[in-house]
Structure 1
């Protein structure tokens, strides 16, 4: 939840008995350290720190210039000039000694990896420091690699999930498995406990996957409307008005497939071919510039409004109250399932 997670949100969730999470994927090492310190100041309970393990971008100046040119008219329509060059705006956690040192110094209870795995030495160092480790998988092959790397938990990221697909095996096409389908396959593939992510919005959803053997659930979209999240007014407004079926997968915003509310940016880039898009996160530097230009011209639909397929079921509650409601719904639904068995 890079961009919307905050120390306040993570701490409120952890203080309510769930595991709060902050993403430092979009942060520099000093910024990450500050975010972790802020969270530790607000809670003594465990929380998760999420890092991005994407491969460094392969730069292609011609492709990047063509990408800028493709959007120059759009920038002008918003009264702004298009950028002259693009940047690799997020550093990967892989071979990132500064970010690893931040985690070893601050020792969060849990560290989770998205977009792949860091080098074995980094995983070993985190485990030695007492951190539990989690990693996202979208296929059984990815799960087997995660298990072989000595990670403690696998996150089954179903195709329903909002935000970026965590897929990291370039050799296989995305099978787009649903959360429930993926859970069953991952249970067969490895002995590790599996946490489900994707389309889980209420206690009934939680009970359903727990009944199927999930060790837990990870929820993102459900918490975006909480006052503690950093989502801006436009994002909150669009999410509040979302209707069923109104999310789509897009690579045009960032350079990697991600599930978003079907906003103006998604509609404007629907026919773009994936091979014309610069690598993540280089494409994202244009996406962010375009969103800012649009915003300044009063057009709010160009931001990265990530959301899962359950977007229309998002609730506007404080984080603490939402955790309480989810726990009550889950217990009620679990009892109902037991009765029917």
Structure 2
């Protein structure tokens, strides 16, 4: 049975679980429209994940995807963190604010969170996906025993083969064009920066897994192209940011509809890991600083604090405005209408 048939989908479409954008309302709307909606719980704890699962299930009985961050436990370096805060101090001062006295590990990785594992086994979402790497064999066995279908992001053939060896059911081929955090298992390793087209076809031919294409896909023609390459589905994230059900704020939506959409950039400065976002004042500063960046998600603690100070002063240009290279094609449609448009465009 194919992945699409197993989930009972009427459209080979997955709404990407972009943290800070995806909501239970959007996931439910997408799933009810016949595609696979997604919620991102990497930035919350077990209780938060449980609430998001319950909220989504209250809105739909259809399957949805729950996404987890599986990053390495950060290696703390007090000197690097202090130097990073010193480098950011003038940015804070511009908004009459001071940087935090110290930084915290604001997100716990799934590899370290036994309470979250227990929550997921109990709630058993239809689909669980991994980003930044893979959990250990025991966690994978537990989720499979609970009936979860497992997806994982890969940016290379080696990562896809690791997914297959670990027992993952399907792989998300994340091209260099994709918005949000790059899913590399090791962010410090060499990155071949394979685009969605090349990576999708490579994984279709060589990985031995069903492949979901992701990165730069914004309309039905893009979905059709991914399917023609052999993908079983396409995952779209940036395409859903402008939907009314998304959690994007007004400044994010304005930037997405403006010139910044034509100038996305990959940066570590915001969070400590490579991530593609709309070019703004933070990314411009990050491209020029010589300071070493703390590990993810420790650096993100500083980034969030700076954004809060800037927003309080009326400056929206320091937010984590994730977006892929297809950003200029974003449409402000309700999620269900967007799914319908994508399906019609695919058929055309």
- The bucket for the TM-score relative to the shorter chain is over 0.9
Runs of 4+ in 1 over 4 A off after TM superposition: none
1:162 to 165, 176, 179: 179
Unpaired runs of at least 5, structure 2: 1-17
After superposition, residues 317-328 of structure 1 pair within 5 angstroms as 317-328=333-344
Report if the CA contact (8 A) 1:20-1:48 is conserved. yes
Secondary structure of the residue aligned to 2:340 is helix
After superposition, residues 196-275 of structure 1 pair within 5 angstroms as 196-242=213-259, 245-273=262-290
Report if the CA contact (8 A) 2:307-2:318 is conserved. yes
TM-score by length of 1: 0.95
- Taking the aligned partners of 2:138 and 2:215, their CA distance within structure 1 comes to 30
Q: Is the aligned partner of 1:291 residue 2:307?
A: yes
Report if the CA contact (8 A) 1:95-1:118 is conserved. no
Using the TM superposition, give the Cα deviation of residue 331 of structure 1 relative to its aligned residue in structure 2, in angstroms.
1.1
Where does residue 84 of structure 2 map in the other structure?
67
- Taking the aligned partners of 1:171 and 1:79, their CA distance within structure 2 comes to 35
- Taking the aligned partners of 2:186 and 2:158, their CA distance within structure 1 comes to 8
2:209 to 192, 199, 214: 192
> What RMSD in Å do the two structures reach over aligned CA positions?
1.1
Report if the CA contact (8 A) 1:16-1:324 is conserved. yes
- Taking the aligned partners of 2:184 and 2:105, their CA distance within structure 1 comes to 20
Using the TM superposition, give the Cα deviation of residue 272 of structure 1 relative to its aligned residue in structure 2, in angstroms.
2.8
Report if the CA contact (8 A) 1:187-1:194 is conserved. yes
- Taking the aligned partners of 1:261 and 1:277, their CA distance within structure 2 comes to 20
Report if the CA contact (8 A) 1:161-1:199 is conserved. yes
Using the TM superposition, give the Cα deviation of residue 30 of structure 1 relative to its aligned residue in structure 2, in angstroms.
0.5
2:319 to 297, 303, 308: 303
- Taking the aligned partners of 1:125 and 1:191, their CA distance within structure 2 comes to 23
Where does residue 181 of structure 1 map in the other structure?
198
- Taking the aligned partners of 1:244 and 1:125, their CA distance within structure 2 comes to 41
Using the TM superposition, give the Cα deviation of residue 245 of structure 1 relative to its aligned residue in structure 2, in angstroms.
3.7
Using the TM superposition, give the Cα deviation of residue 189 of structure 1 relative to its aligned residue in structure 2, in angstroms.
2.4
Comparing 162-171 and 34-43, the one that deviates more = 162-171
Aligned residues: 331
Secondary structure of the residue aligned to 1:248 is strand
Q: Is the aligned partner of 1:107 residue 2:132?
A: no
Using the TM superposition, give the Cα deviation of residue 188 of structure 1 relative to its aligned residue in structure 2, in angstroms.
2.8
Report if the CA contact (8 A) 1:95-1:119 is conserved. no
Using the TM superposition, give the Cα deviation of residue 76 of structure 1 relative to its aligned residue in structure 2, in angstroms.
1.1
- Taking the aligned partners of 1:197 and 1:190, their CA distance within structure 2 comes to 16
Using the TM superposition, give the Cα deviation of residue 187 of structure 1 relative to its aligned residue in structure 2, in angstroms.
2.0
Report if the CA contact (8 A) 2:187-2:273 is conserved. no
Using the TM superposition, give the Cα deviation of residue 79 of structure 1 relative to its aligned residue in structure 2, in angstroms.
1.1
Unpaired runs of at least 5, structure 1: 333-341
Where does residue 282 of structure 1 map in the other structure?
298
Q: Using a 3 Å threshold, how does the CA distance of structure 1 residues 170 and 305 change in structure 2: closer, same or farther?
A: closer
Q: Is the aligned partner of 1:58 residue 2:78?
A: no
Report if the CA contact (8 A) 1:242-1:261 is conserved. no
CA offset digits 1:101-140 (Å, max 9, x no partner): 1111111100000000011111111111111000000000
Q: Using a 3 Å threshold, how does the CA distance of structure 1 residues 171 and 228 change in structure 2: closer, same or farther?
A: closer
Secondary structure of the residue aligned to 1:276 is coil
Where does residue 339 of structure 1 map in the other structure?
none
- Taking the aligned partners of 2:205 and 2:164, their CA distance within structure 1 comes to 12
- Taking the aligned partners of 1:244 and 1:81, their CA distance within structure 2 comes to 30
- Taking the aligned partners of 1:163 and 1:114, their CA distance within structure 2 comes to 11
- Taking the aligned partners of 2:69 and 2:76, their CA distance within structure 1 comes to 19
